[in-house]
Structure 1
Amino acid sequence: MTAAGDRWILVGRIVGLHGVSGEVKLESYTEPRTRIFRYQPWLLSTTTGNSEISGCRGREQGKGIVATLPEITDRDRAASLVGSEIKVRRSVLPEPKPGEYYWTDLEGLEVVTIDGVALGRISHLLATGANDVMVVRDGERERLLPFVLDDYVKTVDFEAGRVTVDWDPEF
């Protein structure tokens, strides 16, 4: 098992081409979206393998982001990267502010009610617009719990590997 800081975290993907000199269009999951360039090296994950690169630069272009990748100088080579996921090591991301969490840090934590009833483990989280939702799995059962601090999520304890929630276990 790798240390938490050594995990690769998805921060974006290459979604298209820009021009003929090898620039690519990105979809960034960072806030603000151009912050993706601060976090390097990148691991580009494709269906054919992974490659680690540093020195990526970019800019906003209309509604998107355009990136220049080292050693990618022509459109054909850039085209082979479309669809690649962009990942960075968890350790290069800034520490979240109090009361804020990276989804990846929550994944795998046990979820228990305030009465100590185990509900399962966080499989992943979803963004719904209104609030984030934890997908909690226990065997075949899956629960969707709103990740709303104080209302439903009472504590997040990384040392214990547990999230305590105010939730009816029958729901």
Structure 2
Amino acid sequence: MADNAQETVVGRITSVFGVKGWVKVYSYTDPMEGILDYPHWHISQGGKKVDLEVVEGKRHGPGIVVRLKGVNDRDQARSYCGLDVMVPIESLPELPEGEYYWHQLEGLAVTTPEGDILGVVKHLMETGSNDVIVVRPTPKSIDNRERLIPYLPDQVIQSVDLAAGTIVADWDPEF
């Protein structure tokens, strides 16, 4: 996850690509090429923050391939595989009213319209048809169940209040 909520994860370096130090990257941005809009990346390697600079990148098949400054061979590139790519939150573009970045939703309390506390958003998942919030119980929750709730604004998700730290979801607590 991101460091002290001042950074957010935008992708993951998955494997090496070729012999000249390029890496394959799984992008969490939409569109996936959006990760290339951030030329300065941070990773955490062995507990240390490492700065990386993207020299060039492009779409390749179903993913993205990137050449990083100072990374010139396969062995060097391999040392970054499996690590999350983070960027400063302030470098993200402002979203239109009613749209949110995933990191903004993580940690928000989820309640029903009746005020029953279902838990807090642990993380989100992309399923293809819609995103899903993973809601973990808290000591104040109505029970100890983890819930997967479709993130469908104006259908299931009735409101998001970042200032209050809450999401109201029209969701049957028994489901």
Per the normalisation by structure 2, the TM-score is 0.84
**Preserved CA contact (<8 Å) 1:37 1:56:** no
Question: Alignment identity in percent?
Answer: 44
Query: Partners of 2:55 and 2:44 in 1: how far apart?
Result: 15
List per-residue Cα deviations over 1:39-59 (Å, max 9, x = no partner).
242112345643112344212
Query: RMSD of the alignment, in Å?
Result: 2.1
Closer, same or farther: CA 96–49 of 1 in aligned 2, 3 Å: same
Q: What pairs up with 1:57-136 in 2 under 5 angstroms?
A: 57-136=56-135
Query: Partners of 2:82 and 2:135 in 1: how far apart?
Result: 29
Q: What pairs up with 1:1-171 in 2 under 5 angstroms?
A: 4=5, 6=6, 8-47=7-46, 49-139=48-138, 140-171=144-175
- Higher mean alpha-carbon deviation, 98-107 vs 41-50, is at 41-50
**Preserved CA contact (<8 Å) 2:44 2:50:** yes
TM superposition shift of 1:154: 0.8
Amino acid at match of 2:98: G
2:141 match: none
- Higher mean alpha-carbon deviation, 150-159 vs 90-99, is at 90-99
Amino acid at match of 2:157: V
List per-residue Cα deviations over 1:27-78 (Å, max 9, x = no partner).
2122222221212421123456431123442122344322111111222211
Count of aligned pairs: 168
Per the normalisation by structure 1, the TM-score is 0.85
